[in-house]
């Protein structure tokens, strides 16, 4: 049975899905057997030379999965030792414990040996606090000896909701999870602590995995129906006109990167509007991209009378915060889509509410903060340790009636209506100076072509990652901009999580 591998489900929602499965007549012990079998299969496939499999078992159903895996591995002729505390009598875990031959030693008895592989079945979805000293000592022993760890559902100590450890946490080589990925499998540092993730079908019907979390990993299904269509009758104005605002001479390169990316993302025309003293420099770089000298507010008001200007990018290398605020207000009044990045975000740190008020009504503002910019605009959200990155992005989006692209290795895209996506497959070499300017340009290019903002943001983040893969390791932001391609309607789902 195929499972929907795009939907992300919080541990709490997973509990509700499990309950719904039970109400629907699905036997929970059968699910546990399937879960344990997948764990055993991953261990057999990846550690054929293990001399001993050490299963550390917790008191709940995560431990139950461990007991099932232990029994199946023993039946396959593998040497298995179990450590932990027995489960409370009566439930599925107790039955799995009873059905597994052999004894259960206390956790502190595990002395690592060469050839050990650990199955971490201590805590999964039920983790609700930092692990105790006994578990912390096991984690430390595994880490100190470099013993490979296969985690059941989640590495113990990792919050499946936030992707943050609650205290000491296993670092797994493989994590075997069931029915749906949890946010903590994709959010950092969770993604790194999980190692390679195996998403396994244990027989929970896909229709039950439709929780109302409205959270996905970023994938083409979120945006492919809204991509600009290449129409044989098109002319350049039907693909929109993107305006990118340049900063002063010294930092004018950022706008160039955004402009090139916007044109390559399919905008029909792109104009870079620069302070008069930067125009010559800009002109020496461009052929296909147009130029405009733009002084202050009056000049902008004149230009905005051109209805064909269909989207704006303001912020990369922009500098002047007063001017950024004034221009943003004028852009808001046009009713057309705006991408605020970098200095365009920072300029609003002391007037966040006014920014949200200026962009009321239909959503047409996109913000693309990295961690530092996010903390400047939303210090209250950034400081709250109870919030996950998804929670923070969603709250920010709702506050400003904007789509927020909260960048990083785990970029979160959130809309004011709560729809959110985590992008977890961009290559690490995207972390290079100027790559954020390229992303802002791609997004501007898609908005210029009239894509709705959330869908455009999801597509832009995916295109950014694909461009980085084409450019390859060692790329510069110039290389990256040169590798941007218009979105490909036929692109297969390139998810690599
Ligand atoms: N249908 C289902 O419900 C399925 C659940 N499965 C497994 O069940 C797991 C969830 O099981 P549970 O809900 O029993 O939860 P866990 O087994 O993750 O945790 C058990 C209990 O440990 C306690 N606990 C939490 N954090 C602790 C800490 N830091 N120190 C000490 N004690 C702590 C809590 O009281 C918690 O309820 C999943 O992760 C998955 O492995 C699988 O068997 C597949 C099917
Ligand atoms: N480790 C990483 N893996 C994948 N992508 C990353 C990583 N670190 C940063 N990125 C991406 O690289 C881009 C960097 O943007 P930004 O921080 O604005 O840089 P700059 O200001 O230099 O342009 C963002 O799109 C971000 O999501
Ligand atoms: K676990």
- To the question of whether residue 247 is assigned a binding role by annotation, the answer is no
Does residue 408's CB lie within 6 angstroms of at least one atom of ligand 2? yes
CA distance 178 to 11: 11
- In the block, which residue shows the tokens 């950024």? 324
Does residue 481's CB lie within 6 angstroms of at least one atom of ligand 2? no
Cβ contact 349:376 at 8 Å: yes
Residues, CB-to-ion distance under 5 Å, ligand 3: 120, 124, 151-152, 156
Q: If you take atom 14 of ligand 2, which residue's CA is the nearest one?
A: 436
Please state the atom number of ligand 1 nearest to the C-alpha of residue 166.
Answer: 29
Does residue 128's CB lie within 6 angstroms of at least one atom of ligand 1? yes
Q: What pLDDT sits at residue 497?
A: 35
CA distance 72 to 97: 12
Does residue 120's CB lie within 6 angstroms of at least one atom of ligand 1? no
CA distance 417 to 401: 9
**β-strand pairing of 420-423 with 411-414:** antiparallel
* Residue 411: closest CA among 392, 383, 395, 437: 392
CA quadruple 209, 213, 218, 224: dihedral sign: positive
Does residue 188's CB lie within 6 angstroms of at least one atom of ligand 2? no
Q: What pLDDT sits at residue 492?
A: 42
Could you tell me the two tokens for 400? 């400003």
Q: If you take atom 16 of ligand 2, which residue's CA is the nearest one?
A: 436
What is the interface pTM, i.e. ipTM, of the complex? 0.96
CA distance 55 to 65: 10
Which residue ranges does the chain devote to CATH 3.40.50.10260?
A: 11-210
Element of type H or E holding 200: strand 196-200
Q: If you take atom 5 of ligand 1, which residue's CA is the nearest one?
A: 61
Name residues of the chain where pLDDT drops below 70: 1-2, 211, 231-237, 489-497
Q: What pLDDT sits at residue 222?
A: 96
Q: If you take atom 8 of ligand 2, which residue's CA is the nearest one?
A: 431
Ligand minimally distant from the alpha carbon of residue 87: 1
- To the question of whether residue 182 is assigned a binding role by annotation, the answer is no
* Residue 37: closest CA among 221, 135, 134, 178: 178
CATH 3.40.50.10260 fits 11-210, yes or no: yes
User: Which CATH fold topology does 220-482 show?
Assistant: 3.40.1190
Which residue ranges does the chain devote to CATH 3.40.1190.20?
A: 220-482
Q: If you take atom 2 of ligand 1, which residue's CA is the nearest one?
A: 18
Q: What pLDDT sits at residue 493?
A: 43
Please state the atom number of ligand 1 nearest to the C-alpha of residue 59.
Answer: 20
Q: What pLDDT sits at residue 495?
A: 40
């Amino acid at each position: 049975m195929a499972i929907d591998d795009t939907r992300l489900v919080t541990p709490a929602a997973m509990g509700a899905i499990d309950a719904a499965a039970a109400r629907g007549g699905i036997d929970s012990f059968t699910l546990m057997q399937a879960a344990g079998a997948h764990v055993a299969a991953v261990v057999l496939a990846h550690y054929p030379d293990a001399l001993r499999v050490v299963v550390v078992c917790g008191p709940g159903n995560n431990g139950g999965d461990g007991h099932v895996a232990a029994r199946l591995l023993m039946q396959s002729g593998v040497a298995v030792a179990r450590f932990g505390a027995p489960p409370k009598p009566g439930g599925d875990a107790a039955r799995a414990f009873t059905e597994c031959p052999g004894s259960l030693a206390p956790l502190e008895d595990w002395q690592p040996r060469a050839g050990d592989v650990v199955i971490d079945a201590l805590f999964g979805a039920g983790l609700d606090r930092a692990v105790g000293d006994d578990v912390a000592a096991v984690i430390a022993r595994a880490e100190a000896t470099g013993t490979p760890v296969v985690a059941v559902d989640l590495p113990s100590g990792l919050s499946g909701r936030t992707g943050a450890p609650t205290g000491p946490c296993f670092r797994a080589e493989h994590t075997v999870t069931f029915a749906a990925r949890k946010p903590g499998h994709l959010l950092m540092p969770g993604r790194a602590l999980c190692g390679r993730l195996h998403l396994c079908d244990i027989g929970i019907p896909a229709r039950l995995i439709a929780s109302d979390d409205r959270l996905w990993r970023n994938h083409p299904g979120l945006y492919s129906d809204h991509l600009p269509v290449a129409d044989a009758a098109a002319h350049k104005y039907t693909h929109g006109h993107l305006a990118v605002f340049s900063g002063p001479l010294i930092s004018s390169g950022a706008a160039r990167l955004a402009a090139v990316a916007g044109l390559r993302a399919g905008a029909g025309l792109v104009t870079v509007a620069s302070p008069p003293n930067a125009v010559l420099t800009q002109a020496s770089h461009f052929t296909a991209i147009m130029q405009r000298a733009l002084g202050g507010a009056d000049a902008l008001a004149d230009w905005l009378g051109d209805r064909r200007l269909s989207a704006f990018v303001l912020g990369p290398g922009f500098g002047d915060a007063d001017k950024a605020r004034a221009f943003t207000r004028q852009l808001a009044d046009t009713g057309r889509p705006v991408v605020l990045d970098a200095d365009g975000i920072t300029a609003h740190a002391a007037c966040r509410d006014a920014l949200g008020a200026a962009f009321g009504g239909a959503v047409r503002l996109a913000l693309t903060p990295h961690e530092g910019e996010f903390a400047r605009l939303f210090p209250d959200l950034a400081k709250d340790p109870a919030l996950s990155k998804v929670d923070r992005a969603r709250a920010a989006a709702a506050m400003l009636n904007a789509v927020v692209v909260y960048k990083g290795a785990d970029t979160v895209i959130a809309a004011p209506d709560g729809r959110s996506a985590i992008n977890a497959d961009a290559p690490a070499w995207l972390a290079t100076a100027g790559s954020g300017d390229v992303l802002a340009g791609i997004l501007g290019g898609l908005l210029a072509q009239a894509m709705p903002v959330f869908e455009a943001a999801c597509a832009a983040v995916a295109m950014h990652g694909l461009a980085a893969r084409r450019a390859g390791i060692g790329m510069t932001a110039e290389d990256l901009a040169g590798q941007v391609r218009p979105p490909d309607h036929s692109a297969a789902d390139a998810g690599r999580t």
